[in-house]
């Protein structure tokens, strides 16, 4: 494996830790409720606390990456979010949990803007979808590990007279700090990386602009002049509303609607996330393959996006099927969303100059997080007022199709925009 792909794997590991960290509360919610009462609306409030600061810092994190450079910026945010994750372990009430979720969102908000900049500085356009697929695959790795690991910790860790769910957060935070040491030791910009030969360095620089040092950023108001910016942000708002509902509420759905206990959740809740990982790799890989075959970037992004969108309505059938088919359907939509998400995250690199990529990726992430807040709050209200999960699943299953039609209407061609 050459240096570029090792870098992709390194960043993928960080994304895996971020998804482990954000799944701690949803999976451990049953054990936490034994110490701290949490209703559906309070659960939605805690999810929103994370998503609001996550979304805002997604934008702020993008600007941070554009200002500090990838290496220093990623170091700062990883240390911050790891400590924030660990802080859940000392929470005594809902207010303290909410504060920890707010801080976790602040830290994790810079993760994907940093990942997008790594792709922009290390990979040419024809390889970016594959690279982002590997990086985005970290979401599945972290989420696959989370349910069985969290269940194991809750069932077996009772050290120092602490509730076992507290060790979930402390262990997850320690994992992030270990990754930071790996990052600082291993990551350098292409022109500074000690492991590159002169030939490799020249090849990378012929395709990718370095983002290692601070550059003059493009004013946000300039980026907002373009219809394409608003289109991608809105598309992400719609599709990520469904995604955040799935990842934050799947364990609770299995506990509440299907009668699972924590051990049963740990045994099956990882399966849809494994399917999501396959979607990351296949969606990005197919798009790159189409470009290698001479297809336009416009076609190579939109055709796979359309196929993913048409898979998503199958989640509406979940309340009507048996438990095994329920897991199959969730696996299908997790696969479809991460196929979709890999390509959506690449669109800023297709449309915008590299010195704006971090900022645009931040705007896109902000839109996605706010979508998660809106649907999460709606879900919490409906469930606490006597409704079943069925109407929420109907809404979630429709959103990708609406988003795809909007993308076709507002972004007719994926060509670099006239930004100086």
Residue 1's pLDDT is 64
Summarised one tens digit per residue, pLDDT across range 119-150 is 878 887 778 878 877 887 788 789 889 889 99
pLDDT band, very low/low/confident/very high, at 297 (cuts 50, 70, 90) = confident
118 has pLDDT over 90: no
Q: Region 272-279: what's the mean pLDDT?
A: 89
State percent of the chain over pLDDT 70.
95
Among residues 296, 291, 13, 271, the alpha carbon closest in space to that of 130 is found at 291
Average pLDDT in the 304-317 region? 96
Mean pLDDT of the chain: 88
Dihedral sign, Cα of residue 406, residue 407, residue 412, residue 415: positive
- Please answer whether residues 182 and 101 qualify as being in contact, where contact means their C-beta atoms are separated by less than 8 angstroms: no
pLDDT tens by residue, 35-90? 999 999 999 999 999 999 988 887 777 678 778 888 898 999 999 999 999 999 99
Tell me what pLDDT residue 211 has. 41
More confident residue, 217 or 387: 387
Spatial separation of the C-alpha atoms in residues 371 and 48, rounded to whole Å: 10
CA–CA separation, 38 and 58 (whole Å)? 27
Tell me which of 49-53, 194-198, 350-354 is least confident: 194-198
């Amino acid at each position: 494996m050459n240096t570029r792909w090792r870098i992709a794997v390194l960043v993928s590991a960080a994304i895996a830790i971020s998804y482990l960290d954000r799944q701690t509360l949803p999976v451990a919610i049953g054990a936490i409720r034994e110490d701290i009462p949490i209703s559906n609306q309070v659960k939605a409030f805690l999810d929103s606390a994370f998503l609001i600061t996550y979304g805002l810092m997604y934008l702020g994190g993008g600007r941070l990456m554009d200002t500090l450079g990838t290496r220093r910026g990623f170091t700062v945010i990883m240390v911050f979010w790891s400590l924030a994750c660990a802080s859940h372990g000392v929470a005594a009430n809902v207010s303290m949990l909410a504060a920890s979720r707010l801080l976790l969102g602040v830290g994790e908000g810079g993760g994907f803007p940093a990942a997008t900049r790594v792709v922009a500085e290390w990979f040419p356009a024809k390889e970016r979808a594959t690279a982002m697929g590997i990086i985005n695959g970290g979401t599945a790795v972290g989420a696959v590990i989370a349910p069985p690991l969290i269940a194991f910790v809750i069932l077996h860790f009772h050290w120092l007279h602490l509730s076992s769910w507290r060790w979930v957060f402390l262990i997850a935070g320690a994992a992030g700090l270990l990754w930071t040491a790996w990052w600082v030791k291993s990551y350098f910009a292409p022109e500074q990386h000690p492991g590159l030969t002169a030939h490799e360095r020249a090849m990378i620089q012929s395709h990718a602009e370095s983002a290692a040092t601070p550059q003059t950023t493009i004013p946000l108001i300039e980026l907002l002049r373009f219809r394409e910016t608003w289109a991608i942000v809105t598309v992400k708002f719609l599709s990520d509303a469904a995604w955040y509902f799935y990842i934050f509420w799947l364990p609770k759905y299995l506990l509440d609607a299907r009668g699972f206990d924590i051990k049963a959740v740990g045994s099956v809740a990882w399966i849809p996330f494994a399917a999501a990982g396959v979607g990351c790799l296949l969606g990005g890989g197919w798009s790159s393959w189409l470009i290698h075959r001479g297809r336009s970037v416009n076609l190579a992004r939109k055709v796979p996006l359309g196929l993913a969108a048409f898979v998503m309505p199958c989640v509406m059938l979940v309340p009507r099927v048996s438990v095994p088919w329920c897991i199959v359907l969730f696996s299908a939509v997790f696969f479809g969303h991460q196929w979709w998400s890999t390509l959506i995250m690449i669109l800023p690199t297709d449309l915008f100059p590299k010195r704006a990529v971090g900022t645009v990726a931040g705007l896109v992430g902000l839109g996605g997080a706010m979508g998660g807040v809106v649907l999460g709050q709606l879900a919490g209200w409906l469930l606490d007022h006597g409704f079943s999960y069925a109407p929420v699943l109907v809404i979630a299953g429709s959103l990708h199709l609406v988003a795809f039609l909007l993308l076709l209407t507002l972004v007719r061609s994926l060509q670099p925009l006239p930004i100086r």
